[in-house]
Amino acid sequence: MSIRLWGWLAAAGAGLVAGTGSGRGAQPAPAAPREGVPAPAEIAVPEGDGAPVVTDGIFSPGEWDDARRVPLTGAVELCLKQYRGVVFVGVHRLGSAKIGPSELCLAEPGGPVLKLHVSAQLGEVVVPAEGDPPPFRFGFTPDWYANELRRDMDEAERLQKQGKSPMEIIAATSYPSEGIEFAIRRSKLPGPRWRTRLGTSVLADGKPGWLVHPAGTTERTTEGWQVLRLE
């Protein structure tokens, strides 16, 4: 399996779902600032009953039964719970929707913005207040983990040699997934209130899109972000 093929499929997958691949659909429009718009109500994250979450992207029976569920759209819901110092965040598809590359921003009041990235690889970056952000440190996941968007790369290489298109290869070789499952240690942000911003690519009813929650927020400032109460 070549590194070139891996990158080719990763880029094609992002283009399929988020519309950001070169020549494959429109770029998602940047979010407009929420000047003067109040943030959503705080969400109290419940303490789970100990049922483990395996971060494989499959929302197995029993894993999230003790979670708080927050519908974001008709195609996506947010699942939240904590247990023994670990905060679990699930980005769960509803119906036949598909969840693709996603990013979860975390911050404390006055602290730096940490962006956790999930695609064919996991990575993290600190978002600066101004200027171009540095590149992601892929494979760098201190105090957190999530499920990569995995594919059978041997089969993908075989299909590529047969002349199959990127979209055909992705459809034929992707492992089953119902969304993204994050597991984040409380020590990542030790305070009792986390500010969060989710960006996720969604394919629903055959239409790709980029979902931001809370809507209209930006990465550079935590104004209007969702607050998770972990007390």
The residue ranking higher by pLDDT, 39 or 156, is 156
Share of the chain above pLDDT 90, in %: 61
Q: What is the pLDDT of residues 88-123, one digit of tens each?
A: 999 999 999 989 999 999 999 878 999 999 998 999
Looking at residue 11, the DSSP 8-state letter turns out to be H
Q: Among the residues of 175-215, which ranges form H helices?
A: none
The residue ranking higher by pLDDT, 48 or 37, is 48
Look at residue 11 and tell me whether its pLDDT is greater than 70: no
Average pLDDT on 137-159 reads 91
Give the model's pLDDT for residue 4.
53
Cα distances (Å, whole numbers) of residue 213 to 66, 76, 216, 231:
22, 11, 8, 22
For residue 41, give both structure tokens. 């109500």
Average pLDDT on 19-24 reads 34
Look at residue 162 and tell me whether its pLDDT is greater than 70: yes
Give the model's pLDDT for residue 186.
96
16: containing domain: 3-27+34-229
Report the chain's mean pLDDT, rounded to a whole number.
85
CATH of the domain at 131: 2.60.40
Average pLDDT on 30-56 reads 80
Q: How many domains does the chain have?
A: 1
β-bridge pairing 179-185 and 144-145: antiparallel
pTM of full prediction above 0.85:
no
Q: What is the pLDDT of residues 171-194, one digit of tens each?
A: 788 788 999 999 999 999 989 999
Cα distances (Å, whole numbers) of residue 210 to 30, 57, 201, 213, 231:
10, 19, 5, 10, 31
Look at residue 37 and tell me whether its pLDDT is greater than 70: no
Looking at residue 187, the DSSP 8-state letter turns out to be G
> Where is average pLDDT lowest: 26-35, 117-126, 216-225?
26-35
CA distance linking residue 139 with residue 121, whole number of Å? 7
